[in-house]
Structure 1
Protein backbone atom coordinates (compact mmCIF):
# COMPACT_ATOMS: atom_id res chain seq x y z
CA UNK A 1 0.00 0.00 0.00
CA UNK A 2 1.29 3.41 -0.90
CA UNK A 3 1.61 5.81 2.02
CA UNK A 4 0.43 9.39 1.70
CA UNK A 5 3.85 10.88 2.44
CA UNK A 6 5.52 8.67 -0.18
CA UNK A 7 2.86 9.63 -2.72
CA UNK A 8 3.33 13.35 -2.09
CA UNK A 9 7.13 12.96 -2.41
CA UNK A 10 6.70 11.12 -5.69
CA UNK A 11 4.37 13.78 -7.10
CA UNK A 12 6.89 16.48 -6.21
CA UNK A 13 9.77 14.55 -7.83
CA UNK A 14 8.18 13.32 -11.08
CA UNK A 15 5.25 15.70 -11.55
CA UNK A 16 1.51 15.16 -11.59
CA UNK A 17 1.33 13.88 -15.17
CA UNK A 18 4.00 11.17 -14.71
CA UNK A 19 2.58 10.26 -11.30
CA UNK A 20 -0.88 9.77 -12.84
CA UNK A 21 0.61 7.64 -15.64
CA UNK A 22 2.41 5.45 -13.10
CA UNK A 23 -0.79 4.97 -11.11
CA UNK A 24 -2.62 3.89 -14.27
CA UNK A 25 0.07 1.46 -15.49
CA UNK A 26 1.89 0.06 -12.46
CA UNK A 27 -0.47 1.09 -9.67
CA UNK A 28 2.32 2.56 -7.55
CA UNK A 29 3.98 5.95 -7.09
CA UNK A 30 7.69 5.55 -7.83
CA UNK A 31 10.56 7.94 -8.34
CA UNK A 32 14.16 7.05 -8.98
CA UNK A 33 17.27 7.43 -11.09
CA UNK A 34 17.00 6.85 -14.84
CA UNK A 35 19.36 3.99 -15.72
CA UNK A 36 18.83 3.54 -19.46
CA UNK A 37 16.64 2.68 -22.40
CA UNK A 38 16.44 -0.44 -24.57
CA UNK A 39 15.73 -0.93 -28.29
CA UNK A 40 11.95 -1.14 -27.67
CA UNK A 41 11.88 2.28 -25.99
CA UNK A 42 11.35 0.88 -22.46
CA UNK A 43 12.89 3.02 -19.72
CA UNK A 44 14.57 1.51 -16.65
CA UNK A 45 14.79 3.10 -13.21
CA UNK A 46 16.33 2.40 -9.82
CA UNK A 47 15.63 3.88 -6.39
CA UNK A 48 18.41 3.15 -3.90
CA UNK A 49 16.69 4.82 -0.95
CA UNK A 50 16.07 1.81 1.30
CA UNK A 51 13.39 3.62 3.32
CA UNK A 52 11.12 4.37 0.36
CA UNK A 53 10.95 1.09 -1.51
CA UNK A 54 10.12 -2.45 -0.48
CA UNK A 55 13.28 -4.60 -0.68
CA UNK A 56 13.55 -6.20 -4.12
CA UNK A 57 11.20 -3.68 -5.74
CA UNK A 58 13.63 -0.81 -6.16
CA UNK A 59 14.33 -1.55 -9.85
CA UNK A 60 11.53 -1.27 -12.37
CA UNK A 61 10.74 -0.85 -16.04
CA UNK A 62 8.45 1.74 -17.63
CA UNK A 63 7.11 0.04 -20.75
CA UNK A 64 6.82 2.08 -23.95
CA UNK A 65 3.77 0.22 -25.28
CA UNK A 66 0.27 0.29 -23.84
CA UNK A 67 -0.20 -3.48 -24.14
CA UNK A 68 2.95 -4.73 -22.47
CA UNK A 69 4.19 -8.13 -21.33
CA UNK A 70 7.36 -9.58 -19.87
CA UNK A 71 8.90 -10.75 -23.15
CA UNK A 72 9.35 -7.11 -24.19
CA UNK A 73 12.28 -6.88 -21.74
CA UNK A 74 15.57 -7.93 -23.43
CA UNK A 75 17.77 -10.48 -21.60
CA UNK A 76 20.47 -7.99 -20.63
CA UNK A 77 17.93 -5.73 -18.90
CA UNK A 78 16.13 -8.70 -17.37
CA UNK A 79 19.36 -9.80 -15.69
CA UNK A 80 19.75 -6.32 -14.21
CA UNK A 81 16.12 -6.15 -13.03
CA UNK A 82 16.42 -9.54 -11.31
CA UNK A 83 19.72 -8.60 -9.59
CA UNK A 84 21.77 -11.10 -11.59
CA UNK A 85 24.01 -8.22 -12.66
CA UNK A 86 25.00 -5.30 -10.46
CA UNK A 87 25.40 -2.65 -13.17
CA UNK A 88 22.84 -1.84 -15.88
CA UNK A 89 23.83 -2.84 -19.45
CA UNK A 90 25.00 0.65 -20.57
CA UNK A 91 27.46 0.74 -17.61
CA UNK A 92 28.43 -2.94 -17.38
CA UNK A 93 31.82 -3.60 -19.04
CA UNK A 94 31.05 -7.29 -19.58
CA UNK A 95 27.80 -6.52 -21.40
CA UNK A 96 29.43 -3.82 -23.52
CA UNK A 97 32.18 -6.15 -24.73
CA UNK A 98 30.09 -9.31 -25.24
CA UNK A 99 28.12 -8.93 -28.44
CA UNK A 100 28.61 -12.05 -30.57
CA UNK A 101 28.15 -11.33 -34.30
CA UNK A 102 26.18 -14.56 -34.85
CA UNK A 103 23.51 -13.67 -32.31
CA UNK A 104 20.20 -12.44 -33.73
CA UNK A 105 18.66 -9.26 -32.29
CA UNK A 106 16.14 -9.76 -29.48
CA UNK A 107 12.51 -10.05 -30.59
CA UNK A 108 9.53 -10.17 -28.26
CA UNK A 109 7.38 -13.29 -28.03
CA UNK A 110 4.69 -13.04 -30.71
CA UNK A 111 2.60 -16.06 -29.65
CA UNK A 112 -1.09 -15.31 -29.96
CA UNK A 113 -0.59 -12.51 -32.46
CA UNK A 114 -0.62 -12.35 -36.26
CA UNK A 115 3.18 -12.46 -36.27
CA UNK A 116 3.37 -15.83 -34.50
CA UNK A 117 5.37 -18.64 -36.06
CA UNK A 118 3.32 -21.19 -38.01
CA UNK A 119 5.11 -24.17 -39.51
CA UNK A 120 4.41 -25.16 -43.09
CA UNK A 121 2.81 -28.61 -43.20
CA UNK A 122 2.83 -30.90 -46.27
CA UNK A 123 1.35 -34.00 -44.63
CA UNK A 124 -2.25 -34.94 -45.30
CA UNK A 125 -4.74 -34.86 -42.47
CA UNK A 126 -5.36 -38.09 -40.58
CA UNK A 127 -8.94 -37.19 -39.87
CA UNK A 128 -11.15 -35.55 -42.45
CA UNK A 129 -14.70 -34.29 -42.09
CA UNK A 130 -17.47 -36.46 -43.51
CA UNK A 131 -19.14 -35.06 -46.60
CA UNK A 132 -22.38 -36.79 -47.58
CA UNK A 133 -22.78 -37.77 -51.23
CA UNK A 134 -26.21 -37.22 -52.67
CA UNK A 135 -27.61 -38.63 -55.84
CA UNK A 136 -30.62 -37.44 -57.76
CA UNK A 137 -33.70 -39.69 -57.46
CA UNK A 138 -35.21 -41.10 -60.60
Structure 2
Protein backbone atom coordinates (compact mmCIF):
# COMPACT_ATOMS: atom_id res chain seq x y z
CA UNK A 1 0.00 0.00 0.00
CA UNK A 2 2.83 2.51 0.60
CA UNK A 3 3.84 2.25 -3.07
CA UNK A 4 0.29 3.18 -4.14
CA UNK A 5 0.34 6.20 -1.84
CA UNK A 6 3.79 7.13 -3.13
CA UNK A 7 2.59 6.82 -6.74
CA UNK A 8 -0.49 8.96 -6.13
CA UNK A 9 1.64 11.56 -4.35
CA UNK A 10 4.04 11.60 -7.31
CA UNK A 11 1.18 12.02 -9.80
CA UNK A 12 -0.07 14.99 -7.79
CA UNK A 13 3.41 16.59 -7.71
CA UNK A 14 4.59 16.10 -11.30
CA UNK A 15 1.28 15.93 -13.16
CA UNK A 16 -0.39 13.19 -15.12
CA UNK A 17 1.57 13.76 -18.34
CA UNK A 18 5.02 13.65 -16.68
CA UNK A 19 3.96 10.67 -14.57
CA UNK A 20 2.98 8.75 -17.74
CA UNK A 21 6.28 9.66 -19.40
CA UNK A 22 8.21 8.43 -16.36
CA UNK A 23 6.29 5.15 -16.37
CA UNK A 24 7.18 4.63 -20.05
CA UNK A 25 10.87 5.48 -19.67
CA UNK A 26 12.00 4.45 -16.17
CA UNK A 27 9.03 2.37 -15.00
CA UNK A 28 8.69 4.24 -11.73
CA UNK A 29 6.89 7.32 -10.48
CA UNK A 30 9.47 9.73 -9.09
CA UNK A 31 9.19 13.29 -7.87
CA UNK A 32 11.95 15.43 -6.50
CA UNK A 33 13.75 18.72 -6.74
CA UNK A 34 15.49 19.76 -9.93
CA UNK A 35 19.24 19.92 -9.23
CA UNK A 36 20.74 20.84 -12.59
CA UNK A 37 21.17 20.27 -16.28
CA UNK A 38 24.31 19.23 -18.16
CA UNK A 39 25.58 20.42 -21.52
CA UNK A 40 23.69 17.65 -23.35
CA UNK A 41 20.26 18.47 -21.95
CA UNK A 42 20.07 15.68 -19.35
CA UNK A 43 18.20 16.82 -16.23
CA UNK A 44 19.16 15.67 -12.73
CA UNK A 45 16.84 15.29 -9.75
CA UNK A 46 17.05 14.43 -6.07
CA UNK A 47 14.41 13.44 -3.52
CA UNK A 48 15.72 13.92 0.01
CA UNK A 49 12.59 12.56 1.69
CA UNK A 50 14.03 9.38 3.21
CA UNK A 51 10.65 7.66 3.55
CA UNK A 52 9.61 7.92 -0.10
CA UNK A 53 12.57 6.49 -1.99
CA UNK A 54 14.58 3.34 -1.61
CA UNK A 55 17.94 4.21 0.01
CA UNK A 56 20.51 4.95 -2.67
CA UNK A 57 17.85 5.53 -5.35
CA UNK A 58 16.97 9.11 -4.46
CA UNK A 59 19.12 10.69 -7.19
CA UNK A 60 18.32 10.11 -10.83
CA UNK A 61 18.81 11.43 -14.35
CA UNK A 62 16.17 12.26 -16.93
CA UNK A 63 17.90 11.68 -20.28
CA UNK A 64 17.40 14.14 -23.12
CA UNK A 65 17.54 11.45 -25.80
CA UNK A 66 15.09 8.62 -26.31
CA UNK A 67 17.81 6.01 -26.94
CA UNK A 68 19.89 6.50 -23.84
CA UNK A 69 22.73 4.71 -22.10
CA UNK A 70 24.93 5.38 -19.11
CA UNK A 71 27.79 6.83 -21.17
CA UNK A 72 25.63 9.88 -21.89
CA UNK A 73 26.16 11.08 -18.31
CA UNK A 74 29.32 13.22 -17.91
CA UNK A 75 31.82 12.25 -15.22
CA UNK A 76 31.02 15.12 -12.85
CA UNK A 77 27.32 14.21 -12.78
CA UNK A 78 28.08 10.49 -12.58
CA UNK A 79 30.10 11.05 -9.41
CA UNK A 80 27.18 12.94 -7.87
CA UNK A 81 24.60 10.27 -8.79
CA UNK A 82 26.81 7.49 -7.41
CA UNK A 83 27.37 9.40 -4.11
CA UNK A 84 31.08 9.86 -4.74
CA UNK A 85 30.55 13.61 -4.45
CA UNK A 86 28.16 15.16 -1.94
CA UNK A 87 27.39 18.41 -3.76
CA UNK A 88 26.13 18.46 -7.36
CA UNK A 89 28.41 20.09 -9.95
CA UNK A 90 26.15 23.16 -10.02
CA UNK A 91 26.93 23.86 -6.34
CA UNK A 92 30.47 22.49 -6.02
CA UNK A 93 33.10 25.26 -5.96
CA UNK A 94 35.77 23.10 -7.58
CA UNK A 95 33.50 22.03 -10.42
CA UNK A 96 32.35 25.61 -11.05
CA UNK A 97 35.91 26.65 -11.82
CA UNK A 98 36.95 26.28 -15.43
CA UNK A 99 38.12 22.90 -16.65
CA UNK A 100 41.86 22.43 -17.30
CA UNK A 101 42.97 23.33 -20.83
CA UNK A 102 44.44 19.86 -21.43
CA UNK A 103 41.15 18.14 -20.73
CA UNK A 104 39.31 17.04 -23.88
CA UNK A 105 35.59 17.69 -24.17
CA UNK A 106 33.45 14.80 -23.01
CA UNK A 107 31.86 12.54 -25.63
CA UNK A 108 29.70 9.50 -25.13
CA UNK A 109 30.90 5.99 -25.95
CA UNK A 110 30.09 5.36 -29.62
CA UNK A 111 30.91 1.65 -29.66
CA UNK A 112 28.39 -0.29 -31.70
CA UNK A 113 27.22 2.78 -33.60
CA UNK A 114 28.10 4.28 -36.95
CA UNK A 115 30.44 6.77 -35.26
CA UNK A 116 32.60 4.08 -33.62
CA UNK A 117 36.36 4.20 -34.09
CA UNK A 118 37.61 1.81 -36.76
CA UNK A 119 41.37 1.62 -37.24
CA UNK A 120 42.81 1.53 -40.72
CA UNK A 121 44.95 -1.53 -41.36
CA UNK A 122 48.18 -0.96 -43.30
CA UNK A 123 49.65 -4.43 -42.82
CA UNK A 124 49.41 -7.01 -45.57
CA UNK A 125 47.35 -10.06 -44.55
CA UNK A 126 49.29 -13.12 -43.41
CA UNK A 127 46.81 -15.50 -44.95
CA UNK A 128 45.52 -14.94 -48.45
CA UNK A 129 42.47 -16.63 -49.88
CA UNK A 130 43.19 -19.22 -52.55
CA UNK A 131 42.39 -18.12 -56.05
CA UNK A 132 42.58 -20.83 -58.71
CA UNK A 133 44.58 -20.09 -61.83
CA UNK A 134 42.54 -20.82 -64.90
CA UNK A 135 44.29 -21.40 -68.20
CA UNK A 136 42.26 -21.22 -71.37
CA UNK A 137 41.86 -24.43 -73.37
CA UNK A 138 43.46 -24.59 -76.72
Task: Identify if the C-alpha distance between structure 1 residues 2 and 113 changes in structure 2 by more than 3 Å, giving closer, same or farther.
Answer: farther
* CA-based RMSD: 1.4
> Could you tell me which residue of structure 1 aligns to residue 6 of structure 2?
6
User: Unpaired runs of 5+ in structure 2?
Assistant: none
Using the alignment, how far apart are the partners of 2:11 and 2:4 within structure 1?
Answer: 11
Q: Give me the TM-score of the superposition, normalised by structure 2.
A: 0.95
Partner of 1:19: 19
Q: Secondary structure at the match of 1:134?
A: coil
Aligned partners of 2:32 and 2:25: how far apart in 1?
16
Q: 1:122 to 1:98 in 2, by over 3 A?
A: same
- Please list, as runs of the form range in 1=range in 2, the aligned pairs for 1:111-122 lying within 5 A after superposition: 111-122=111-122
Take 1:127 and 1:36, find their aligned partners in 2: how far apart are those partners?
55
Name the counterpart of 2:54. 54
Q: Which residue of 2 aligns with 1:100?
A: 100
After TM superposition, give the deviation of residue 2 of structure 1 in Å: 7.8
1:3 alignment partner, SS class: helix
Aligned-pair distance for 1:97?
Answer: 2.1
Q: Report the CA distance between 1:98 and its aligned residue.
A: 5.4
**Partner secondary structure for residue 36 of structure 1:** strand
Of the structure 1 ranges 25-34 and 116-125, higher mean CA displacement relative to structure 2 is found in: 116-125
Q: 1:39 to 1:10 in 2, by over 3 A?
A: same
Query: Helix, strand or coil: the match of 1:8?
Result: helix
Q: Equivalent residue of 2:101, what SS?
A: coil
**Residue deviations 1:1-26 (CA, integer Å, cap 9, x gap):** 98111111111100111101111111
Q: Matched residue pairs, number?
A: 138
- Asked if residue 87 in structure 1 is aligned to residue 96 in structure 2, the reply is no
